[in-house]
Structure 1
Amino acid sequence: MTNRRTFMRAGGLLATGVAVTAAASGPARASSPATSLPLLTWHAALANRRYAPAVVAVLGSSSSEGVGASGPGRGYVPVLAENLRTAFPVAGAAGGANYVAAWGTPRWWPVTGGGTRVDTAGWGLKAVDLAGPEESLTYRFSGTSVQVWHDGAPEIVVDGGTVVVRGPGRIHGFVTFDGDEEKGIQVFNGGHGGRTSGDFAERAAAWAPRLRSIRPHLVILQLGINDWRIGVPAAEMKRNLLTIIETVRVNSGTDPSFVVYGTPRVGADRRIQDHTRFTEAWREIAAEDTGGPGGASGVAYFDLAARQPSPSSDNTHGLYCDDLVHMTDRGAAFTADALLSFIRP
């Protein structure tokens, strides 16, 4: 059983459990004409943000996790959250950090402590096993309430803006709110550096249960570039993304909209595998989907490569780090701005 505990500053407590239903990918779907409908669920939720949360969930690799950024809040996902809350404000709902996994790859990750890292459990395939009370995690937050997502029965102590969790137990992460518990815009970041589409497709039982808690209206899938880099065929990547989309639809209960994020060719090397095949596969997923309103596509294709050159050919604007793979603060903000213009009504 996976639990979440919600702690208000005044000391309230809530515990719940969730379950998962698996889904397998089916055959490719027939093409449908391009329409403005793929983002309808998201746009309707955004219109209702004054009365209920409009929720974004992200599954991705290192760019979503924030690798390359100089500090917390500077990856494209938190900047997108900031952009959305600025563009679509709700009185009294400034918005919290929402999901922070129990561990992360960037050196500035805001959770500290010991335990054993687990990459096969939790939203974003991240968790920490605490063997006993001698092992703990500490997270400092600002806002109106915090949840700890976990398995088992760890000891959880909230003192002002500090949460300390002691084992035994498996800790998935921390969800913080700042007036956005029941309204406004929430963003749940499931980025995990180095992950492929296959990692998420094959381990749905690890992350899909959380969809019942998150209840997303928009799901951004920033997956595929690592598949390309390690030689996974584009057709296999496409099947994996179809599996992920179907799994989300079965488990969310919200009929969410989807954005498939197309990444420019990154890195200075020259792989045998043709990157354009991945671009075609990402496009095909959006064009062939029939799971949206009225049988139209419920998937939109965000083509970042149409807005910037491949960093391996031109990085004069400093959008990518020296490795020509991960985004700088500027690149992350550029991407977040581009995504905002793409997903807004």
Structure 2
Amino acid sequence: MTRTTRLVAVAVALALLTGCTANPTTPSEPTGGASADGTSSALPTRASSELADWATALDDRDDYSARWVAVGDSISEGMGASTVDSRWIDLTLDGLRERYPTDDVPGGVGYRPAAFAVAPPASTWARWASSSEGSVSASSRTADLGYRSVTLGAGATTTYPFTGTDLDLWWSSGRGTFSYTVDDGDAVEVDTRDSMATSGISSVTGLDAGAHTVTIHAETPVDIEGLTAFDGDRDRGITLFDSSRSGATARTFTADLPGYLDSIAATKPDLVTITLGANDAFSRTPDQFEDDYRTLIDGLQSLDDPPSVMLMGEFVPGTNLTEGLAGDASEYDAVVQRLADETGSAYIDLADALPADGVASLLSADGVHPNDAGQRVIADYVLDQLSVR
């Protein structure tokens, strides 16, 4: 049963704030109220319809998990951040959990790919496996959450650390066989050729809270897509699924749209944020970009249980994203805003978060990607946009 069919709509009001402060007030769970004459002080806004599914999910997080999928390019994947945990998407997740706590649910890191696509010197954590033996290589051929799988050759072994009570191991079907072991437990055999789906998920539940490792051994060549680590939040709380890829364009996700939508549907999303455009602008005209972007949004909205969608403008004045484009940066910004209006999606602009004056201090050496301070500023801003008012 989907969230839409099992939940009664909750009357909530959302407000998209304009502007941001690097020192926000202490997070607290916003609540509605009534004025002296008994009328509600939480009046509906345009955003209340655009983000209604997300608002309902947050309200119902004690009984069902609220699931956010972050689609995007290097701005979302976290290029420029010094560690994976200091990315704005992870910081926003932390803030959401502070504002909307769930009893006895710390929450895990959510879905992370088998290998990230970020690159040094801006970021040095592309591979997060703690050890590997044999042929282990990053691959972008699979329409997983961000096209960031890892191919293990026959006999190869790789180990990932994770913290939590549950784990989902995502793999591509039709390739071969592998086994996985959690800590010192028994090996579990997986034959990926038994599945007719575009991807498969092997689940581990009931682990003691704390640090663990999962070791994957390939008997024949296989593709491992990623891992979702839960810490009490498999069915409650708020979970993040990272579906970004450095260098991505809208066409990255529409090249195999059915396969990608299968991966998205497996997350059961309540919210999808999309941060794209910068890479498109170097190779696609504004009209071509609009066609690609619209195809992606239409695909998300065609899911059996479509999520709320928020589009994010990423052309920030003062960054090195204005030269060598196939069109003017303002034209690409206009495309995103127009698509938000025409598809009923929410819209925010990162230019409202990063100040026109002094933005250089919030960027890494390349003048494009936010450094740790910039990641924090974006996280504070996006947190306010995703908070129920």
TM-score (norm 2): 0.73
- Tell me the residue number matched to 1:162: 213
3-state SS of 2:341 partner: helix
Asked whether the 8 Å contact 1:125–1:206 carries over to 2, the reply is no
Distance 1:184 1:82, change over 3 A: same
* Aligned pairs, number: 299
- Tell me the residue number matched to 1:324: 367
Q: CA deviation at 1:255?
A: 2.1
Q: Does 1:238 align with 2:290?
A: yes
Distance 1:300 1:127, change over 3 A: same
Q: Does 1:89 align with 2:101?
A: yes
- Tell me the residue number matched to 1:44: 56
Instruction: Give ranges in structure 2 of 5+ residues lacking alignment.
Output: 1-44, 184-210
3-state SS of 1:225 partner: coil
- Tell me the residue number matched to 1:21: none
- Tell me the residue number matched to 1:107: 124
Asked whether the 8 Å contact 1:123–1:206 carries over to 2, the reply is no
- Tell me the residue number matched to 2:145: 123
Q: CA deviation at 1:309?
A: 4.0
AA partner of residue 264 (structure 1) = F
Which range is displaced more, 257-266 or 94-103?
Answer: 257-266
- Cα deviations by residue, 1:17-58 (Å, 9 ceiling, x for unpaired): xxxxxxxxxxxxxxxx95631001100111000100001001
AA partner of residue 173 (structure 1) = G
- Tell me the residue number matched to 1:262: 313
AA partner of residue 216 (structure 2) = V
Q: CA deviation at 1:206?
A: 3.8
Q: CA deviation at 1:212?
A: 2.8
Which range is displaced more, 143-152 or 106-115?
Answer: 106-115
Q: CA deviation at 1:210?
A: 1.7
Q: CA deviation at 1:249?
A: 2.5
Residue correspondence of structure 1 range 1-345 to structure 2 within 5 A: 34=46, 36-104=48-116, 105=118, 106-109=123-126, 110-112=128-130, 113=132, 114-121=135-142, 122-133=144-155, 135-151=156-172, 152-159=176-183, 161-167=212-218, 168=220, 169-228=222-281, 230-251=282-303, 253-265=304-316, 266-267=319-320, 270-271=323-324, 273-289=327-343, 297=344, 299-309=345-355, 314-316=358-360, 318-345=361-388
- Tell me the residue number matched to 2:190: none
Distance 1:35 1:81, change over 3 A: closer
Q: CA deviation at 1:330?
A: 1.1
Asked whether the 8 Å contact 1:127–1:172 carries over to 2, the reply is yes
- Return the alpha-carbon distance in structure 1 between the equivalents of residues 312 and 322 of structure 2: 22
Asked whether the 8 Å contact 2:322–2:329 carries over to 1, the reply is no
3-state SS of 2:302 partner: helix
Asked whether the 8 Å contact 1:201–1:244 carries over to 2, the reply is yes
Which range is displaced more, 97-106 or 181-190?
Answer: 97-106
Q: CA deviation at 1:180?
A: 0.2
Q: List, as ranges, runs of 4+ consecutive aligned residues in structure 1 with deviation greater than 6 Å.
A: none
- Return the alpha-carbon distance in structure 1 between the equivalents of residues 381 and 322 of structure 2: 26
AA partner of residue 304 (structure 1) = L
AA partner of residue 331 (structure 1) = G
- Return the alpha-carbon distance in structure 2 between the equivalents of residues 236 and 306 of structure 1: 26
Asked whether the 8 Å contact 1:218–1:257 carries over to 2, the reply is yes
3-state SS of 1:162 partner: strand
- Cα deviations by residue, 1:287-344 (Å, 9 ceiling, x for unpaired): 112xxxxxxx2x001111123245xx7435x211111111111111111110111121
Q: CA deviation at 1:254?
A: 2.5
TM-score (norm 1): 0.82
3-state SS of 2:347 partner: strand
- Return the alpha-carbon distance in structure 1 between the equivalents of residues 46 and 247 of structure 2: 32
Asked whether the 8 Å contact 2:315–2:321 carries over to 1, the reply is no
Asked whether the 8 Å contact 1:258–1:300 carries over to 2, the reply is yes
3-state SS of 2:91 partner: helix
3-state SS of 2:272 partner: strand
- Return the alpha-carbon distance in structure 2 between the equivalents of residues 238 and 95 of structure 1: 36
- Return the alpha-carbon distance in structure 1 between the equivalents of residues 214 and 386 of structure 2: 34
Report the identity percentage.
Answer: 26
- Return the alpha-carbon distance in structure 2 between the equivalents of residues 234 and 314 of structure 1: 29
3-state SS of 1:77 partner: helix
3-state SS of 1:90 partner: coil
- Tell me the residue number matched to 1:28: none
CA RMSD of aligned residues (A): 1.9
- Return the alpha-carbon distance in structure 1 between the equivalents of residues 308 and 322 of structure 2: 35
- Return the alpha-carbon distance in structure 2 between the equivalents of residues 116 and 35 of structure 1: 43
AA partner of residue 381 (structure 2) = A
Which range is displaced more, 135-144 or 172-181?
Answer: 135-144
Instruction: Give ranges in structure 1 of 5+ residues lacking alignment.
Output: 1-32, 290-296
- Cα deviations by residue, 1:145-175 (Å, 9 ceiling, x for unpaired): 1111012431111106011111131100111
AA partner of residue 247 (structure 1) = G
AA partner of residue 231 (structure 1) = S
Q: CA deviation at 1:111?
A: 2.4
Q: CA deviation at 1:129?
A: 1.3
